[in-house]
Amino acid sequence: MYQEVLAIDKSLADKNPSVYLPNVAITLINLGILYFDKNEFSEAFVKYQDALKISRSLAKNNPSVYLPSVAGTLNNLGNLHSKKNDFSEALVNYQKALKTYQSLTKTNSSAFLPIIAMTLANLANLYSVRNDISTALEKYGEAMKVYQLLAEDNPNTYLPDVAATLHNLVVLQKAKNL
C-alpha cells in the first residue's frame, strides 16, 4: 500500500514539488518504519536516507517546519544502527538528532522537550550497551531532569518515564559499583 502511495506522491511531486515533496518524505519515513519493524534493515536504511535527503532539502527554505522531520529521521537511523549493533553510526545519528531537537527548543521548547528526553535515553541505552557506564549515567541523568520538568505539568504522562529512567539509573549505578 505504501509503495503505491509513494509512486503517486513522487508523480505528483514531479509536477508540483513544493506541495507534494513533503508527502514523499513522510511516506518514505513510514516505509522505513515498516521495514524496520519487519527487521528488513537494508530497505529501512534506504528509505530513511531518501527521506532525510528530502527533509534536509525542504528544511533549507523552511527550517521550523522541516527540521523536526530531519531530527526524527536521524533518530530513526540511530535506532536502526543500534539494532544492527553499529554503535558508532548510531551514536552519530543520535547526537545529530539531539542537536537538531535542542536547536528547535529555542522557538518551541514544550513541543520538543519530550523528544529530547527520549533521544537522551536512546543515547544512554547505547552507552550502556557499549559498557560506558559513566556516560550512560550522565545521559540518563539529563533525560531524568527533562522528564521531571515535564512531569511537573503533566504527571500522568511523564511520571512513568521518570520511573523508568530512575530504574535505569539505579541498575547502572549498581553495575558501576560492582
Where is 37: in which H helix or E strand?
helix 17-37
Q: Taking residues 14-41, what's their average pLDDT?
A: 93
**What gap in Å lies between CA 75 and CA 95, rounded to an integer?**
9
Cβ–Cβ < 8 Å for 79, 36:
yes
| Residue 51: band (very low, low, confident or very high) from pLDDT cuts 50, 70, 90 | very high
Confidence of residue 74 (pLDDT cuts 50, 70, 90): very high
Look up residue 39 and give its three cell numbers. 527487521
Whole-number Å distance between alpha carbons of 11 and 88: 37
- For the chain, give the mean pLDDT: 94
Q: What is the pLDDT of residue 106?
A: 86
Select from 79, 85, 77 the least CA-distant residue to 56: 77
Residues 6+ apart with CB under 8 A from 172: 128, 133, 136, 137, 140
Tallying the residues shown for the chain, one arrives at 178
Report pLDDT for 178. Answer: 63
Instruction: Extract the C-alpha cell encoding 85.
Output: 549493533
Residues 6+ positions from 21 with CB-CB distance below 8 Å? 13, 54, 57, 58
